Amino acid sequence: MLNAIENLASAVLADIDVIIYVKSADHRFLYINRAATKTFHAPADQVVGRSDTELFPQSVAEHWHMLDDRVFETGERQQGEETFVEADGRVRHFWSTKMLLRRPGAEDCLLGYSMDITKLKEVEFSLKRSNEALLQSEAMFRQSFDGANTGMCLVDLQGRLTRVNQKMTDIFGYSEAELTQMTVNDLAIEDDRKISPEFMDHAVQGDADKAVFEKRYRHRNGHVVYCVVSSALVQDSSGQPEFFVSQVLDITRTRYLERELHSSEQRHRLMLEYASDILWSMRSDGKFGFFNRSVKTLLGYEQDDAMQMSMDDFLAPESIPVAHEYLSRVHQAIANRTEPPRFHGEIRQRRKDGSLIWTEVLAFPIIDGNGDMVELLGVSRDIEERKQHEIELKFARDKAEAAQVALERANAELHNLASTDELTGAMNRRQFEIEIKNQITHAKRHGEPLCLAMFDIDHFKRINDGCGHARGDQVLVELSEIVRNSLREGDFYGRWGGEEFLILLPYCNLQNGKKIADEIRRRFAHHEFVEIGHVTASFGVAQWRSEENSTDWVTRVDKAMYAAKDAGRNTVCVG
């Protein structure tokens, strides 16, 4: 349970802009906060469980290993500057503190936190490179110095503060006039008063020209202020020491994080107990290690009783294979020494009274420094009401879709009735007139040939009078079927009136149009009609001319058809 609380408690540090991490003795990351994920450009689940060697260049990893090992060997806090190279080659500098974190009953680990001092380093570098320029441009220096968002000060070779910016007064609570009457050690607490003089002596003697160190000061109101100081010696044009320029970064908040982490345990325990979702943990042996009080509210089990139950006892039959399959993937990943997967899905669980409830489950494995699973942490949320809404929504959606299909079918039937001759299935005259105009527009735009054929059944009145209208209608139906089987894809066939029909042939010139009409005429003549025998038809064919409209074109085709009648019927004439 403590392990679960520690993991959840670390969320307090998620939004701190200080990089915080925990590492095992074999240099594997056990925890990183959000600031670390931004620095590493990788989510936590791609970093936790991996070592420095797997994540960083060898030289960087070896340097960090050396510092980490020193902490584990001596148990002493280690502080110093570390460098990290971004993927784009940009160098970032950090002031890092590493300490041994002893855990009763568990393996010791290393707690580290790092503050980005790249800005400090950039200022330091800039000051070193721009020493002469700063001396020549007091106005520019004043603007940079006074406007800096970190404390800045000038210190003479005797350690007296000769100039401070506004941020220095904010950090320590003294006015500028008060600070410039002090030395670097007037504010320092007694145990840290050797730090600045030792550096200044080394710098003046030529052993070091810059340093970054952590130092504690006393605020005007009495509390301790923790700072990281970046100090550099400024030399004149002849190389003689002149003064020191220092940048002071307040890290008091960071230094109190450790105390906050330890003091927050009870708060997080209360959060766990009174959360509305079921919070739980399962040990590597498959037994539950923790339930909060919501297991009673949602599932009806007392906490102690729930701890004695197996995972399958809580699950509906259809959810048991899902849970076992996930655990199998976790164990396989651990065996392969790869990152174990998290689970996020919907699981149906069994209440104490036997009823079933849908829950949304999030579970993630906690891995120790050896790559073994310590426990599985999980959250189960009641989504029964949401699932019922989803079922109702699906029912309504299915009903709407069925109505839409019926409407589309009805619309299609209405369109078919409005555009099709009921007897023959050919286009009716109104729809065919629309299609003729559409095809004329297309042919005119693209310069393609377009043909129109008209045919009339020879002596059709004799068929109706001699055999009856039913037989006459059957002749029209069978002839229409012959036409459809004779046309190309994209051709159009319509009933113009009575026994007159039109055939529209896109991309077809007069010569090919006459061939198509003659082939249909031949098939008509060879077809055997019940109780009637053979039936013939007379055809007229004409190619559209660019200067004529649809009415003129149909008239010309009609005349060609009557010319075929006058020529003895059962023939094709062109117009």
- Got the DSSP string for 134-180? HHH-HHHHHHHHHH-SSEEEEE-TTSBEEEE-HHHHHHHS--HHHHT
Among 87-96, 196-205, 285-294, 359-368, which stretch is predicted with the lowest mean pLDDT? 87-96
pLDDT in tens, 72-90: 999 888 888 887 777 677 8
Q: Which helix (H) or strand (E) holds 551?
A: helix 550-566
pLDDT band at 551 (very low <50, low <70, confident <90, very high): very high
Those residues with Cβ within 8 angstroms of residue 139's Cβ, 6 or more apart along the chain or in another chain: none
Among 39-43, 448-452, 455-459, 502-506, which stretch is predicted with the lowest mean pLDDT? 39-43
Q: Annotate 437-475 with b (16+ C-beta within 10 A) or e (fewer).
A: eebbeebeeeeebbbbbbbbbbebeebbeebeeeebebb
Q: What pLDDT, on a 0 to 100 scale, did the predictor assign at position 15?
A: 66
Given a cut of 90, is residue 501 above it in pLDDT?
yes
Q: What pLDDT, on a 0 to 100 scale, did the predictor assign at position 139?
A: 66
Among 60-69, 258-267, 280-289, which stretch is predicted with the lowest mean pLDDT? 258-267
Q: What pLDDT, on a 0 to 100 scale, did the predictor assign at position 35?
A: 83
pLDDT in tens, 317-353: 999 999 999 999 999 998 998 989 999 999 999 999 9
Residue with tokens 């039109």: 502
Q: What pLDDT, on a 0 to 100 scale, did the predictor assign at position 361?
A: 92
pLDDT in tens, 208-252: 889 999 999 999 999 999 999 999 999 988 889 999 999 999 998
Under DSSP, the state recorded for 318 is G
pLDDT band at 270 (very low <50, low <70, confident <90, very high): low
Q: How many residues in total does the chain contain? A: 575
Which amino acid is it at 293?
A: R
pLDDT band at 264 (very low <50, low <70, confident <90, very high): low
Given a cut of 70, is residue 262 above it in pLDDT?
no
Number of H helices, E strands in the chain: 22, 20
Given a cut of 50, is residue 107 above it in pLDDT?
yes
**Cβ neighbours, 10 Å, residue 168:** 22
Q: What is the mean pLDDT of the chain?
A: 87
Q: Annotate 325-349 with b (16+ C-beta within 10 A) or e (fewer).
A: ebbeebeebbeeeebbeebeeebbb
> CA–CA separation, 487 vs 455, rounded Å?
14
pLDDT band at 65 (very low <50, low <70, confident <90, very high): confident
> CA–CA separation, 385 vs 400, rounded Å?
22
pTM attached to this predicted model: 0.35
* C-alpha radius of gyration, the chain, whole number: 46
Chain centre distance of CA 466:
78
Those residues with Cβ within 8 angstroms of residue 455's Cβ, 6 or more apart along the chain or in another chain: 500, 501, 503, 517, 520, 521, 537, 538, 539, 540, 561
Residue with tokens 């160098």: 91
pLDDT band at 50 (very low <50, low <70, confident <90, very high): very high
Chain centre distance of CA 151:
41
pLDDT in tens, 179-196: 999 999 899 999 999 999
Q: Which residue has the higher pLDDT, 15 or 326?
A: 326
Which amino acid is it at 5?
A: I
Average pLDDT over residues 390-413: 73
> CA–CA separation, 575 vs 564, rounded Å?
10
Among 75-84, 304-313, 322-331, 556-565, which stretch is predicted with the lowest mean pLDDT? 75-84
Q: What pLDDT, on a 0 to 100 scale, did the predictor assign at position 322?
A: 94
**How many CA atoms lie within 13 Å of 172's alpha carbon, on the beta-carbon side?**
29
Given a cut of 90, is residue 165 above it in pLDDT?
yes
Tokens of residue 55, six digits? 């994540």
Chain centre distance of CA 52:
28
Over pLDDT 90: what percentage of the chain? 52
pLDDT band at 137 (very low <50, low <70, confident <90, very high): low
Over pLDDT 70: what percentage of the chain? 90
Q: What pLDDT, on a 0 to 100 scale, did the predictor assign at position 5?
A: 46
| Alpha carbon separation from 278 to 64, 290, 366, 568 (Å, rounded) | 40, 10, 18, 95
Evaluate whether 47 touches 40 at the Cβ level (below 8 Å). yes
- Give the residue from 243, 262, 250 showing the smallest Cα distance to 13: 262
Q: What pLDDT, on a 0 to 100 scale, did the predictor assign at position 1?
A: 41
Q: What pLDDT, on a 0 to 100 scale, did the predictor assign at position 387?
A: 81
| Alpha carbon separation from 426 to 418, 494, 496 (Å, rounded) | 12, 5, 10
> CA–CA separation, 250 vs 346, rounded Å?
47
- Residue 541 phi/psi, 5-degree rounding, is -130, 140
